[in-house]
Chains A and B, each alone.
Chain A
């Protein structure tokens, strides 16, 4: 068996094994992956991770976002190669969050490699476009002229806004926000708010290969943020109805306190799926 680094050049060969939504991240800055293949080139195990907090040397982490292995031998070979791959990056901690339903076999394997493993509620929740449209809080919201679809923003204003948000540490779910091309974001449903001649709020979506719309950045700067955020959401929903079906799946990653609180407000009866999560300190 051999372990192959996943690259933009070879990821297509493993599309079926990885799944298209996972595979599309290969090639993004901070995303890396390895595949263990047998003599015939058939994948037997795989791992994809994203580096986080790379701007802060003492807090660099590796988040394993996808992991699959049928047996301990393949798993061990894969993890040994993972260990080598992260060694030079100054990683202080590896962590993972994997669907519990399909990761039962991996629990003991991960523990044997020094990871803690525990059941948790996953960060991602999903709702259909129509479910979000039905939220009563949005029915009364009026969208001001200052809130517009992203496609009408100039490139200069967009990049300026991204830069200002990054300076404040607001990256959303994208560690590589600085490197993502504008077209990574779905420009019709994504929207922005303008104040005093510059963009003060962004609600950015990414459309996955499986045609889900993932919220990747939701950030409003300034005193009016409480008023503007609901308008951005309503604008996105209205644009969504123009371009997509009502049953289009919207994915919300409640990756921080603010998004968890918003998720609770918008979807009080929604839980993320069961996941196994854990971590390991790295030398």
Chain B
């Protein structure tokens, strides 16, 4: 998995390439350590993400937990149909801002 981070002011865009699962989720978590403290907008670009498991979703949601209390915004962008369908089935589309690919 590759992670590319681009920060512009208080907006951070994180592109996740490859699978985000129980093996790779800790890499994302580590890459984001200290990165979102001063961020008000966080975008996860999932265009090149091939698969996201529960472990991966939990890392993403941990970021949302940091942002939400201070009025921050998180968007999952370029979410493919597979991932979107699982998010919808489980009920997360009612709670998260998601832009489909």
Interface of A with B (CB < 8 Å)?
Answer: 100-101, 116, 118-121, 254, 257, 260-261, 263-264, 268-274
Highest count of chain A CB atoms <10 Å: which of B55, B82, B94: B55
Interface residues of B in 33-66 (CB under 8 A from A): 51, 53-55, 57-58, 61-62, 64-65
Q: Nearest 9 CB-CB pairs, A to B?
A: A118-B65, A271-B90, A264-B53, A274-B91, A274-B95, A261-B22, A121-B57, A264-B22, A120-B61
Asked if A272 and B61 sit within 8 Å, CB to CB, the answer is no
**Does B87 belong to the interface (CB within 8 Å)?**
yes
Smallest CB–CB gap between A270 and chain B, Å? 7
Residues in B neighbouring A274, C-beta threshold 8 A: 90-92, 94-95
- Smallest beta-carbon distance B52→chain A, Å: 9
Q: How far is the CA of A257 from the CA of B96 in the complex (A)?
A: 25
**Residues on B with beta carbons closer than 8 Å to the beta carbon of A270:** 54, 86, 90
Determine whether the beta carbon of A254 is less than 8 Å from that of B68: no
The distance from the CB of A101 to the nearest CB of chain B, in whole angstroms, is: 6
Contacts A118-B65, A260-B55, A264-B22 supplied; 8 other A-B pairs, CB < 8 Å: A101-B91, A118-B62, A264-B54, A269-B82, A270-B54, A271-B86, A271-B92, A274-B95
- Note all chain B residues with C-beta closer than 8 A to A269: 82, 86
Measured between alpha carbons, how far is A261 from B95 in the docked complex, in Å? 25
Q: Count of chain B residues with Cβ under 8 Å from any Cβ of A? A: 24
Are B86 and A121 interface neighbours, CB within 8 A? Answer: no
The SS class assigned to the A binding surface is mixed
Contacts A101-B91, A271-B87, A272-B90; A119 near B82 (Cβ below 8 A): no
The yes or no answer to B27 lying at the interface (CB within 8 A) is no
The secondary structure that dominates the B interface is: helix
Is B21's beta carbon under 8 Å from chain A? Answer: yes
Instruction: Write the chain B residue with the least CB distance to A111.
Output: B69
Within 8 A of A (CB), among B67-99: 68-69, 82, 86-87, 89-92, 94-96
26 A–B contact pairs at CB < 8 A? A101-B91, A116-B65, A118-B61, A118-B65, A119-B95, A121-B58, A121-B90, A121-B92, A254-B54, A260-B22, A260-B54, A261-B22, A263-B54, A264-B21, A264-B22, A268-B51, A269-B86, A270-B54, A271-B54, A271-B57, A271-B86, A271-B89, A271-B90, A271-B92, A272-B54, A274-B92
